[in-house]
């Protein structure tokens, strides 16, 4: 995940980018994983958020049929074994865990996590192992999504070599990964009956940068949710949003929750992201971990703490 001092960038043309560096891969603890083949690639679509029946019933996607599993795997947390379905959408591998004990006909929340650079939290199953215990008991369809290049969400899909210090030109300024992410959300909404909002987004390191710098500026008016942003975040790469955040209906239920260490080398970029979205009327909060370097805390497990806080527990 590369970094910039964005205070200068916000008053310059988006093309005038200085040198920046990418953070180290996220420090997931590996379990056994699977490597499926490529799968279905549905067309992208963007839902309209809102409510049915005059606002009395939360609106949902009314999807059904699920997604076909290319393979399955398991993770164990405590004494519980969780089975995940592996599917591929537009080159992005998904590990999907359905919740337990939900009533038939009840729409589910969607909780989707984006790994940091290197994808170890996804490939090694750390993310589903730490996050599925919460989602499975809170009516949420859990998804861990691997970047199409198997490495990083913030870099171009064609950048397939994971580096500790990628050059600025590796940034996905065209938003190709954001388009893929929309395809993923669309396919999930078609396969399950999912609440339109709030979607529970989570990211670590480069995953957080992608959500704040690329996805939310492009599609935040269509996809509202809780953004749990661990040890990462940047302002929009263009310096602006593609939509008017002054309209509360377009912001919807979206709020941004950042957690990062006070010794994180990318603290200036994260705090610039906090400022960028705060001045654009988003509810924003920060949790600063004392004496912590980059992602040197349970940045994967803490995602569910923010999800829990803003869904009523």
First-to-last C-alpha distance (Å) of the chain: 32
- Confirm whether pTM is higher than 0.75: yes
Tens digit of pLDDT at every position of the chain (313 positions): 444 333 333 333 333 333 333 444 444 433 333 333 333 333 334 444 444 444 567 899 999 999 999 999 999 999 999 999 999 999 999 999 999 989 888 999 999 999 999 999 999 999 999 999 999 999 999 999 999 999 999 999 999 988 766 787 899 999 999 999 999 999 999 999 999 999 999 999 999 999 999 999 999 999 999 999 999 999 999 999 999 999 999 999 999 999 999 999 999 999 999 999 999 999 999 999 999 999 999 999 999 999 999 998 7
DSSP 47-114: PPP-EEGGGTEE-B----S----SEEEEEEETTEEEEEEEEEETTEEEEEEPPSSPPTTPPBEEEEEE
Query: Quick check: helix, strand or coil at residue 255?
Result: strand
Say if residue 33 is exposed, middle or buried (CB neighbours under 10 Å; 0-12, 13-18, 19+). Answer: buried
Give the sign of the dihedral formed by CA 268, CA 274, CA 276, CA 278: negative
- Identify which of 276, 275, 283 has the alpha carbon closest to the alpha carbon of residue 306: 283
Domain-wise residue ranges, the chain: 61-309
Strand partners, 28: none
Report residue 179 CA to chain centroid gap: 13
Return the pLDDT at 56: 61
Dihedral in degrees, nearest 10, Cα atoms 15, 225, 128, 172: -10
- Residue written as token pair 């083949």: 37
Decide: residue 213, CB within 10 A, 0-12 exposed, 13-18 middle, 19+ buried: buried
Chain centre distance of CA 225: 10
Tokens of residue 159, six digits? 């950048």
Q: How far is CA 220 from the centre of its chain?
A: 12
Q: Is the backbone peptide bond immediately before 251 cis, with ω within 30 degrees of 0? A: no
Quickly name the fold that domain 61-309 has.
Answer: Rossmann fold (3.40.50)
């Amino acid at each position: 995940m590369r970094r910039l001092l964005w205070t200068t960038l916000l008053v310059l043309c988006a093309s005038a980018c200085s040198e920046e560096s990418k953070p180290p891969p996220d420090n997931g603890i590996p379990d056994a994983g699977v490597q499926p083949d490529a799968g279905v690639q549905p067309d992208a679509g963007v839902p309209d958020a809102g409510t049915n029946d005059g606002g009395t019933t939360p609106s949902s996607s009314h999807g059904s049929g699920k997604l076909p599993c290319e393979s399955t795997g398991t993770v164990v947390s405590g004494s519980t074994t969780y089975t995940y379905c592996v599917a591929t959408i537009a080159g992005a591998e998904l590990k999907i865990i359905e919740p337990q004990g939900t009533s038939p006909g009840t729409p589910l929340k969607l909780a989707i996590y984006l790994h940091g650079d290197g994808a170890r939290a996804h490939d090694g199953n750390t993310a589903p192992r730490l996050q599925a215990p919460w989602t499975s008991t809170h009516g949420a369809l859990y998804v861990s999504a691997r970047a199409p290049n198997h490495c990083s969400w913030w870099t171009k899909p064609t950048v397939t070599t994971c580096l500790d210090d990628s050059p600025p030109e590796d940034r996905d300024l065209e938003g190709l990964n954001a388009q893929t992410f929309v395809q993923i959300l669309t396919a999930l909404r078609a396969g399950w009956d999912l609440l339109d909002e709030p979607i529970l987004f989570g990211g670590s390191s480069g995953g957080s940068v992608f959500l704040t710098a690329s996805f939310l500026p492009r599609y935040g008016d269509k996809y509202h949710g809780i953004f749990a942003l661990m040890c990462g975040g940047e302002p929009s790469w263009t310096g602006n949003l593609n939509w008017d955040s002054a309209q509360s209906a377009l912001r919807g239920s979206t709020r941004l929750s950042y957690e990062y260490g006070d010794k994180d080398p990318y603290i200036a970029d994260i705090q610039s992201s906090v400022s960028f979205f705060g001045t654009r009327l988003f509810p924003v909060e920060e949790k600063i971990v004392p004496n912590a370097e980059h992602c040197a805390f349970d940045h994967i497990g803490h995602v569910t703490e923010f999800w829990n806080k803003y869904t009523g527990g």
